[in-house]
Amino acid sequence: MNKFNSISAPVIRRLPRYYRFLGELKEKGVTRVSSKELSDKMGFTASLIRQDLNCFGGFGQQGYGYSVDSLYNEIGQILGLEHSYNAILLGAGNLGRAVATHMSFEKRGFRLTGIFDIDESKVGAVIRDIPVSHMSGLEKFCFENHTDAAILCVPKSAAPELSEKLYQIGIRNYWNFSHYDLSVDHDDIIVENVHLNDSLMILCYRISAGEGEKL
């Protein structure tokens, strides 16, 4: 439990976006920002932004705006990004390789410690300094290396058996790209699902409806 548990779910869902924009401002050397400026950049109303940031005692000062640094650090702390959760990635196909290669794990509270695949031809390839191991060594690996989370980049058909195995090993946290609904089998797990098709459907809607503005 952290000290911000009273913050509502919709606010939490928006925090990564604030964090991202504040990070960009930091990089540009900007030190203060008003809710109006954040609003223009992010497409939320200034009043929603003030409300959101008030939830955790934001650092706004009438006429001076928010300290970019303080706000950035505070949001990072709420999100728990100072952690270094050990994560393994399952499935070293295109998707798994893309996730392993492109994600900023270390800046997002994670450390990628192992990559596994069922396909012998992928075993031994090195991605992000990590050699791909065969799935048969999964249990031993997790036994010897504390593992907090699993990233599922396997096909939907492989997910039920694999996720059951991971559950039996004791893994309770999942970043799930597999399109299989893990919560069907267990309700004591944390699953963050990535549904790229949902995003594609929203694009289709917006083109069809002629909606340029942000949804």
Binding site for its own copies (CB under 8 A): 1-2, 4-5, 9, 12-13, 15-17, 19-20, 78-81, 83, 85, 93-95, 97-99, 101-105, 107-110, 148-149, 173, 175, 187-190, 192, 194-212, 215
Q: Based on CB atoms, which residue is closest to its own copies, 66 or 110?
A: 110
In the complex, least distance from residue 111 CB atom to its own copies, rounded to whole angstroms: 11
**At closest approach, how far in Å is the CB of 121 from its own copies?**
16
Closer residue to its own copies in complex, CB, 62/198: 198
Nearest partner of 66 among 3, 144, 107, 74, judged by Cα:
74
Of the pair 107, 146, the CB lying nearest its own copies is at 107
Q: At what angle do helices 35-42 and 46-54 cross, to 10 degrees?
A: 120
Give me the least distance between CB of 151 and its own copies, in Å please. Answer: 9
* Minimum distance, C-beta of residue 1 to its own copies, in the bound complex (Å): 5
Distance separating alpha carbons of residues 42 and 46, to the nearest angstrom: 10
Task: Quickly tell me which residue has 């400026």 as its tokens.
Answer: 37
The angle that helices 9-27 and 46-54 make with each other, rounded to 10 degrees, is 100
Rounded CA separation 63/172 (Å): 46
Select 109 or 160, whichever has its Cβ closest to its own copies. Answer: 109
Give one DSSP letter per residue of 131-143, joined into a string.
EEEEGGGHHHHHH
